[in-house]
Amino acid sequence: MAVSLGACAAPETTVPNEGNETPVEESVFTPGTYEGSAKGFHGDVVLTVTVNENEITEIVADHTETEGLGDNAIDEMIASAMEKDSLALDMMSGATYSSEAFLAALEMALVKAGADVEKLKVKEAGEEAVKEDITKDTEVAIIGAGGAGLSAAVSAHQNGAKVIVIEKMPNVGGNTIISGSAYNAVDEKRQAPQGIEDSIEKFYTQTYEGGDKQGDPELVRVLVENAYPTIEWLESLGMEFKDTVFTVLGALWPRSHKPVEPLGTGYINTYMNYINEHSDEIEILTETEAKELVVSEDGRVTGFIAESKNGKVTVNASKGVIVATGGFGANVEMRDQYNTIWPALTNIKTTNHKGATGDGIVMAEKINASIVQMENIQLLPMGDPETGSLSGNIEQGVENRIFVNSDGNRFVDEGERRDVMTNALMEQEDSMMWVIVDQHSYPTGDTVNNFNESIDSLVEQGRAFKADTLEELAQQIGVSPENLVKSVEAFNAAVDGATDEFGRTLFMHKIDTAPFYAGKRVPTVHHTMGGIKITPETRVVDVNGVVIPGLFAAGEVTGGIHGANRLGGNALTDVNTFGRIAGAQAAKEN
């Protein structure tokens, strides 16, 4: 990738001079072309930076960051760096690794150019921007531009409404864009050719019972019955899913659909393509944070008040307001406030983007909305040891991998519920495990995982290990070779029909073909199942069970759908299905 833009001139500075000599401009850089590099999400981000004495005149980036996410972040940061001739740049939401890599690579290049990088990291004071309060009128107003908010925006517009969406982060996408992208739905067209028997009733039972029967049966029914129609709706908007399904971690059954585009970019790009085509009737305001819902004297929600960097923004909605702000997985204080199930979560990292702080729940509660099941916080056993992110996870599907502890022993049914697996992991030494797979998961070194990372790149980065024998792999990761071999042999026997010692039932291939791979994983906070109580039509109800007129909610901000445990692959089903319903319902309000 090469990007070359004209940069704004840097402010002139002078140095002391004697007599009547003309003041001379102090150089910021030594003119020339310099290179810097740093590790990004998918490998090295390499920048070739050309400068004159006071300006960055060109930045050429060479990288393999995620299409539609990391590459967009780098493009935006190139433009910003050249506009400001500075290292005081804002990180791009949802693309933290790519943003950090860009800044580190740019700093390396500018150090070589002789710059005082500490000065370049300081934001210029300049003149304070003039703030101006504004008011906007629309029909449907949406708080949050993640998957739920954007699906609601498209659906509302398709049902005849003008729409305004606000987003507190600099970019749209929320948790959806950085997700593993699995979407559960009963889909005979894809399942039958794979010999998979499924039904709406089976999906309902697994979802309801998988949440310890704490989910609202009506909401679960809406979820499972509308899952596939929502896939068809997404496809009608141009989104593409792969032709086969798989079993994502904790899904309990092979009905997880995988988009063609990596991570959650397919969902967000699909919605944004539609929104950009109808930008005269759908407006998105980023870096605009909702502060309070506006309620009329008769109890109807008529809009909200938000803050942007330019002042107060009041949005009036004649039909309805949809809260789609996501959960509170990134809010440590809020997690600790409501957690009654897990050990202390203070030091547990999260898969969530930093904007997942529960704002919508707090706003709704202030107007007497019912908030339910806040203690139901989901952890995964699949966090990156350094970041808590799901990136670097080498599993491709539940059927073809095992977990072993630091002794090389299996300790749980790897096809179980997410809470069962995480509790079992927390009982192991250092709450750490290794995921073990073989060539069946990675036929070639450039085969990518569910986060678009090739196995070769993960091995090169030291985030995965590769060996031609299980004994050699065991030595690399520091577990007992004897135990690892026995664990794999017992698993392989169960694939052949022997009774699995942990009761596992989901199998496909044996782990018997070199090369063998291992990846380290730890617990991480992933999803908050509690939140705003809604009806099957996504209307918000108050503490007395009465519908609050004009107020809707969708996505992870809601509670009572998944119960005590969310099945893997059900989040994106929830986000897109209930977002679609909320948009249509709000658009039909009088």
State how far the Cα of 305 lies from the Cα of 80, in Å rounded to an integer. Answer: 29
User: What is the DSSP secondary structure assignment for residue 454, as one 8-state letter?
Assistant: B
Residue 468 is predicted with a pLDDT of: 98
Cis? peptide before 515, omega within 30° of 0: yes
Q: Where along the chain do its domains lie?
A: 2-16+23-120, 134-181+263-376+529-587, 379-524
Is it true that domain 379-524 has CATH number 3.90.700.10? yes
- The pLDDT tens digits for 270-308 are 999 999 999 999 999 999 999 999 999 999 999 999 999
CB crowding 424-440: b at 16 or more within 10 Å, else e: bbeebeebebbbbbbbb
Residue 283: the pLDDT is: 98
Nearest to 506 by CA among 253, 312, 272, 331: 253
Q: Indicate the pairing of strand 163-166 with strand 282-285.
A: parallel
Q: What is the DSSP letter of 429?
A: G
Nearest one of 535, 537, 529 to 559, comparing CA atoms: 529
Tens digits of residue pLDDT in 342-367? 999 999 999 999 999 999 999 999 99
Tell me the backbone φ, ψ of residue 399, rounded to 5 degrees. -65, -25
Location of structure tokens 């009088």: 590
Contact between residue 305 and residue 291 where contact means Cβ atoms under 8 Å apart:
yes
Q: Which token pair is 211?
A: 């949440």
Q: Hey, which CATH number is domain 2-16+23-120, 3.10.129, 1.10.357, 1.10.10, 3.90.1010?
A: 3.90.1010
Structure tokens at 387: 């970041």
How does the average pLDDT of the chain come out, rounded? 92
* The domain defined by 134-181+263-376+529-587 carries CATH number 2.130.10.10: no
pLDDT digits (tens, 9 = 90+) for 131-178: 899 999 999 999 999 999 999 999 999 999 999 999 999 889 999 999
Question: Which pLDDT score is estimated for 86?
Answer: 87
What does each of the 590 residues of the chain score in pLDDT, given as a tens digit? Answer: 333 333 333 333 333 444 444 444 578 899 999 999 988 766 789 999 999 988 999 999 998 787 767 788 898 889 888 888 888 887 776 677 788 889 999 999 999 999 888 888 886 544 455 789 999 999 999 999 999 999 999 999 999 999 999 999 988 999 999 999 999 999 999 999 999 999 999 999 999 999 999 999 999 999 999 999 999 999 999 999 999 999 999 999 999 999 999 889 999 999 999 999 999 999 999 999 999 999 999 999 999 999 998 999 999 999 999 999 999 999 999 999 999 999 999 999 999 999 999 999 999 999 999 999 999 999 999 999 999 999 899 999 899 999 999 999 999 999 999 999 999 999 999 999 999 999 999 999 999 998 888 999 999 999 999 999 999 999 999 999 999 999 999 999 999 999 999 999 999 999 999 999 999 999 999 999 999 999 999 999 999 999 999 999 999 999 999 999 999 999 999 999 999 999 999 999 98
> Which residue numbers are catalytic?
418
